[in-house]
A and B are shown apart, each in its own frame.
Chain A
Amino acid sequence: MDFEYFTQLFLGGLTRGSIYALIALGYTMVYGIIELINFAHGEIYMIGAFTGLIISSVLTMMGMPTLAVIVLAGMAAIIYSCSYGYTIEKIAYKPLRNAPRLSALISAIGMSLFLQNYVLLAQTSDFLPFPSLVPNFAFWEPYSHIISSAELMILLTTLIVMILLTLLIKFTKIGKAMRATSQDKVMASLLGINVDQVISATFVVGSATAAIGGILIASHIGQINFYMGFIAGIKAFVAAVLGGIGSIPGAVLGSFVLGWTESFFTGYISSDYEDVFAFIFLVVILIFRPSGILGRSQAQKV
């Protein structure tokens, strides 16, 4: 076996997995709190990428230095994604909090459809080229045949985001409130936790990580379009389920497993059915271990 090829695939899978993880976190956190598959989550990621592209183009044309463009465009993407996440929850999910689950799910699908077509109509249906934001670092040159500096950047960013998120959830007040709410919403509100606020915060945090994922992948692949959120969203969802939906470490683990499996599958076997693969994977997991790798199987309280 060719070891270098293997390493490449391994690292490629790791990169893919990182991106999935950034999106999967949003799914899993929202699901953990309101038990809803936020279908529109992939669209938030897409909007993050679009905002990043638009703002960075404007700033570049205004003649700003590259570093400033990266920082400002990144911040704009995060801020906008968070705002969209917040607004989506208020419009499409909050009025349905006591409605049957089916209603909220259909509303979520409607939101996804709406946002995709909103960007399609307001911007374009074509693929837009996305500038490579990460330069090729000189110091990394010797290793760049194994993993490019852009990929390295993705890995590092994911790592930092994970650490920050863990700190947020473990130690901050809102993080503790999130954990309490996901355990028992009624109890949490009796204890004086503002559940509405916690839910909004969850959407905002999930959207922020999705936006980071959106920019990273867009600059890595080099192009974006309005449909990019859909398939990435589905795959991230698969990763979240694989790890055990509702579990944050699970989402990360599931994302890496999915990333590696896809990478090795397309590298060694065939790339024709790359997108089908995630779905088959999902079906298999759901049949044999519906609670995922790290999820606890929970009996529904009756």
Chain B
Amino acid sequence: MKPILEVQNMTMDFGGLRAIDSVDLSIEKGQIVALIGPNGAGKTTFFNCITGIYTPTSGDIYIYPRGKEERLNGLKPNIVTKKGLARTFQNIRLFTSMTVLENVMIGCHAITKAGIMGAIFRGAATKAEERLIVKKSYGILEKIGLEKYVDELAINLPYGAQRRLEIARALATDPFLLLLDEPAAGMNPQETMELDELILKIRNREGISILLIEHDMKLVMSLSEKIYVVDYGKKIAEGTPEEIRNNPVVIKAYLGEEIDE
């Protein structure tokens, strides 16, 4: 099967620090792929490079919309989002002064187009678009299970709900690939279980592929079809959950040196 995202030889330097060191990665349509590694391994930086927040020092990022190859390097984040990659943030970045519904409505920004004149005159097209945005956003909130909070300010939500709102917001951009940065961080076991179901539902119902950064190994092992492991910016392993579980290099990276002797 052809990949929908392919990263080749990507490297990212911050001054003297090499946060990512020639990493390859590819994702196929409908796949759930996990990116794991110890703290500071460079996982979030990897996301930032793909989504245009940083421009990688070298290497290539390709996507294949309708079979055509497109290079993402150097594109601005909003363009990358328009092309169908949506993400969440490890340190939750919601729009705190807006309501929950509005947060999701912002996600529709890229797929709508009313401008200043449209807003002022509020013609039929603009009205219809507004209605569509509200309806779609509400639908997404229902799907994610946040509909009871619609009119709350985003900042007043409990922590787990905030993480889910990040996912809802990303879904509103109509992505083909969803990048989740530690979606289970800070969740209790019950919430994590619900998250597990939610991610599966998103993949199964809408065929959205998922790239997942997560420290919760139970979640990673149960969800992903393929796992990449990075350490100090380098890819040290890739394979199925089974393969990764038994890979001595991975075990060493996670448990440190002392296990050797």
Chain A, range 263-296, C-beta contacts under 8 Å to B: 296
* A302-B53, A302-B89 known; A296 vs B48 contact (CB < 8 Å): no
Q: B28 to nearest A CB, angstroms?
A: 27
Asked if B121 is an interface residue, CB under 8 A from chain A, the answer is no
Q: A183 to nearest B CB, angstroms?
A: 12
Q: Give chain A residues whose Cβ lies under 8 Å from the Cβ of B15.
A: 296
Asked if A299 is an interface residue, CB under 8 A from chain B, the answer is yes
Complex Cα–Cα for A302 and B52 (A) = 12
| Interface majority SS (helix, strand, loop, mixed), chain B | loop
* Count of interface residues, chain A, beta-carbon cutoff 8 Å: 3
A300: nearest residue on chain B (CB-CB)? B53
Cβ contact within 8 Å between A299 and B89:
no
B97: nearest residue on chain A (CB-CB)? A100
Q: Give chain B residues whose Cβ lies under 8 Å from the Cβ of A299.
A: 14, 54
| Interface majority SS (helix, strand, loop, mixed), chain A | loop
Q: Give chain A residues whose Cβ lies under 8 Å from the Cβ of B48.
A: 302
Q: B232 to nearest A CB, angstroms?
A: 18
Asked if B99 is an interface residue, CB under 8 A from chain A, the answer is no
Chain B, range 65-116, C-beta contacts under 8 Å to A: 89
Asked if B44 is an interface residue, CB under 8 A from chain A, the answer is yes
Q: Give chain B residues whose Cβ lies under 8 Å from the Cβ of A296.
A: 15
Q: B39 to nearest A CB, angstroms?
A: 14
Q: B234 to nearest A CB, angstroms?
A: 21
Q: A201 to nearest B CB, angstroms?
A: 27
B181: nearest residue on chain A (CB-CB)? A302
B47: nearest residue on chain A (CB-CB)? A302
Q: B44 to nearest A CB, angstroms?
A: 7
Complex Cα–Cα for A302 and B44 (A) = 8
B12: nearest residue on chain A (CB-CB)? A299
Complex Cα–Cα for A296 and B13 (A) = 14
Q: A174 to nearest B CB, angstroms?
A: 26
Complex Cα–Cα for A299 and B44 (A) = 14
Q: B184 to nearest A CB, angstroms?
A: 19
Q: B74 to nearest A CB, angstroms?
A: 14
Q: Give chain A residues whose Cβ lies under 8 Å from the Cβ of B53.
A: 302
Interface string of B41-54 (1 = CB under 8 A from A): 00010001000011
Q: Give chain A residues whose Cβ lies under 8 Å from the Cβ of B14.
A: 299
Complex Cα–Cα for A302 and B77 (A) = 13
Complex Cα–Cα for A302 and B15 (A) = 16
Chain A, range 66-86, C-beta contacts under 8 Å to B: none
Interface string of B4-25 (1 = CB under 8 A from A): 0000000000110000000000
Q: A244 to nearest B CB, angstroms?
A: 14
Complex Cα–Cα for A302 and B14 (A) = 13
Q: A50 to nearest B CB, angstroms?
A: 41
Complex Cα–Cα for A296 and B15 (A) = 9
Complex Cα–Cα for A302 and B46 (A) = 11
B44: nearest residue on chain A (CB-CB)? A302
Q: Give chain A residues whose Cβ lies under 8 Å from the Cβ of B44.
A: 302
Complex Cα–Cα for A302 and B48 (A) = 8
Complex Cα–Cα for A299 and B89 (A) = 16
Q: Give chain B residues whose Cβ lies under 8 Å from the Cβ of A302.
A: 44, 48, 53, 89
Q: A246 to nearest B CB, angstroms?
A: 15
Complex Cα–Cα for A299 and B19 (A) = 13
Q: A138 to nearest B CB, angstroms?
A: 53
Complex Cα–Cα for A296 and B48 (A) = 20
Chain B, range 185-205, C-beta contacts under 8 Å to A: none
Complex Cα–Cα for A296 and B54 (A) = 16
Q: A41 to nearest B CB, angstroms?
A: 29
Q: B48 to nearest A CB, angstroms?
A: 5
Q: A302 to nearest B CB, angstroms?
A: 5
Interface string of A200-224 (1 = CB under 8 A from B): 0000000000000000000000000
B48: nearest residue on chain A (CB-CB)? A302
Q: B166 to nearest A CB, angstroms?
A: 14
Complex Cα–Cα for A299 and B48 (A) = 11
Complex Cα–Cα for A299 and B14 (A) = 8
Q: B182 to nearest A CB, angstroms?
A: 13
B90: nearest residue on chain A (CB-CB)? A302
Q: B57 to nearest A CB, angstroms?
A: 11
Provide 7 A-B residue pairs closer than 8 Å at the C-beta atoms, listed in order of the A residue: A296-B15, A299-B14, A299-B54, A302-B44, A302-B48, A302-B53, A302-B89
Closest 4 pairs between A and B when the two form their complex, measured CB to CB: A302-B48, A302-B53, A299-B54, A299-B14
- A-side residues, CB < 8 A to B, are 296, 299, 302
